[in-house]
Amino acid sequence: LTVDNLSSMDTLSERQLEIVRATISLISEEGVQNFSIRKLAKAVGVTEPAIYRHFESKDDLMIKLATYIARNWHEMMRQLPIKKQTVVEQVRIMFREVMGYLDQNRAFTKTLFSADFFSTESRMTKILLELKNEGLTAFCELLAAGQSVGEVRGDLEAGGIAGGCVGLGWWRRTDLLTT
């Protein structure tokens, strides 16, 4: 899943975008397992059949939701001001900006990090897992580049450092979101 793949996917109409955003809000409040088209229709102020005029099925809605999340994430990452910085400074900027973005977009964050999304084998789950894996891989590559020039400790595996940092960031988000 690359930005190019995402940009070639269908764009959402204004009404679809409104429905996707309402879906994010509902999922962040109640979880994926408690999400229903009936609740979504009520939240948006339409009938259930009206939702299906904009999305072929609940699965189609969830795939569009995952695509929307991936697009937003890629756009945020693309706008990070990390060019021409040392690796250590790139890591600092990345974490500061990503954590700020997650703090400012709590419903998005709760949806992205929802354990419920990853309990099924759906196309939506695959999109979100691929997004998380891309981020971890890019972070590992950045750390390895820092190790090769002596900016990051070389006695630790880049993947272990990245996993620990991402886990710490995830824990921080979870901690902040439950209060």
| pLDDT tens-digit readout, 61-92 | 988 888 888 788 788 877 877 778 888 888 88
Tell me the residue type at 130.
E
Per-residue pLDDT tens over the stretch 40-50: 999 999 999 99
Record the pTM.
0.69
User: CA–CA distance from 68 to each of 2, 110, 117, 156 (Å)?
Assistant: 13, 14, 15, 35
